[in-house]
Structure 1
Amino acid sequence: MASFNPLARILEDNKLIIPNYIDWKRNLMLVLTAVKVYWVLTTAEPEEPTIDAPQAERDRKQKWTDDNEMAKCYILGSMSNVLQHQHVRMATTAEIMLNVKELFGVQNRTARLIVIKGLVCTKMVDGNPVRDHMLKMMGFLNELDILGAIMDAEMQIDILLTSLLMASESGPVGQDDVNG
């Protein structure tokens, strides 16, 4: 894909292939947001305006059509050739994304389960700074957020505190660790 936008390089380097759906989707959403065409994924296609429709209505339809085509180019350009061929005739980006989700969405659940296991099974290692442990735990929480897992703030705090308590069961956390 020729990079007419520097952000397209992200998609070029992360083309959709079977095992990378989650990373591909995250990168695609970043690019579509940056080039201001993400909205066509979440907004239904406007009805074809009537001949006597106001200019604003005709302009909205044209903008949606243009932005949908731009988003479609980014999406198709970031897919393997086989997937491109499978989706090129779809009219809207929403159709493409729904189909791709149906093909690869099961990976999302598996990925969430792996991250949840890492989150709840990780405990702070004695002698390591608390800051490093918290960064690791925040990484798990961020990944879960990206994967669409819903966890309220209170539950997140409980899990973080539990991971610290598990470490203190084998001995107290030193003052140096608390200060980072």
Structure 2
Amino acid sequence: MPRFSKTVLDGKNYEDWCRRIIMVLPFNKYKFVLSEVALPSSGPESSTRDCVISQNWHTTNESSLMFMQSLMNNELQHLYLDFKTTKDVLDSLNSRFGIKSISHINFLWQSFIHTNLEEGGNVNEHIQKMINSAHELRVMGKRLDNATIISTILSSLPKSFDEIGRIYFMSSFDWDIENFIPRMDA
């Protein structure tokens, strides 16, 4: 793959990133992985020609996936690590980052800040859901710092967690998202 300017996909630059990917794939004769379905790898009825075509498709698809992932930020790389085809990644990215209205982003924000956990609910699942929602909002361009995310999560917890909230709001500790769940278990 040729090098082009380091346009790392972060969500906000999806259209520009996608345009560049679509330009580069045909340049390398890789565009067929976006439209052609892979032949089964090989079987007793497969001709040598079919095996070569299938192997070529899989090799090209793998190279295209690696190329695309190398131009994504770390968060997106992890999200798309298990995707099997270039087309699946582009389809998913388009549904995630294609033109989103401000009202859609505001809806997600309102959902984030008004989500509450009932007493006795699974705290770890709730926190993970809230972190995922915050990540989605960040990817869509909403500015959220860790303090906002953590304070929103703490405010969404039942009354039995009020003491943890007071400790957080009164402490000078620098809580971050990565160590938030272990602190909740302590």
**Match for residue 74 of structure 1?**
67
Contact 2:8–2:71 (CA<8 Å) still a contact in 1? yes
Supply the distance in 2 between the matched residues of 1:29 and 1:62 (Cα, whole angstroms): 22
**Match for residue 35 of structure 2?**
42
**Match for residue 25 of structure 1?**
18
Supply the distance in 2 between the matched residues of 1:91 and 1:34 (Cα, whole angstroms): 22
**Match for residue 133 of structure 2?**
none
In structure 1, runs of 5+ residues without a counterpart are 111-180
Supply the distance in 1 between the matched residues of 2:36 and 2:99 (Cα, whole angstroms): 25
Supply the distance in 2 between the matched residues of 1:101 and 1:52 (Cα, whole angstroms): 37
Q: CA deviation at 1:99?
A: 0.9
**Match for residue 63 of structure 1?**
56
Q: Does 1:53 align with 2:42?
A: no
Q: CA RMSD in A?
A: 1.8
SS at match of 1:90: coil
**Match for residue 144 of structure 2?**
none
Q: CA deviation at 1:106?
A: 2.0
1:135-169 residue CA offsets vs partner (Å, 9 max, x unmatched) = xxxxxxxxxxxxxxxxxxxxxxxxxxxxxxxxxxx
The amino acid across from 2:3 in the alignment is: A
Q: How many corresponding residue pairs?
A: 102
**Match for residue 176 of structure 2?**
none
Q: CA deviation at 1:48?
A: 3.1
Q: CA deviation at 1:36?
A: 1.4
Task: Report runs of 4+ in structure 1 exceeding 6 Å deviation.
Answer: none
| TM-score when normalising by structure 2 | 0.51
Supply the distance in 2 between the matched residues of 1:56 and 1:33 (Cα, whole angstroms): 23
Q: CA deviation at 1:9?
A: 2.6
- Map 1:45-124 onto structure 2 (within 5 A): 45-107=38-100
In structure 2, runs of 5+ residues without a counterpart are 103-186
The amino acid across from 1:9 in the alignment is: F
Contact 2:25–2:64 (CA<8 Å) still a contact in 1? yes
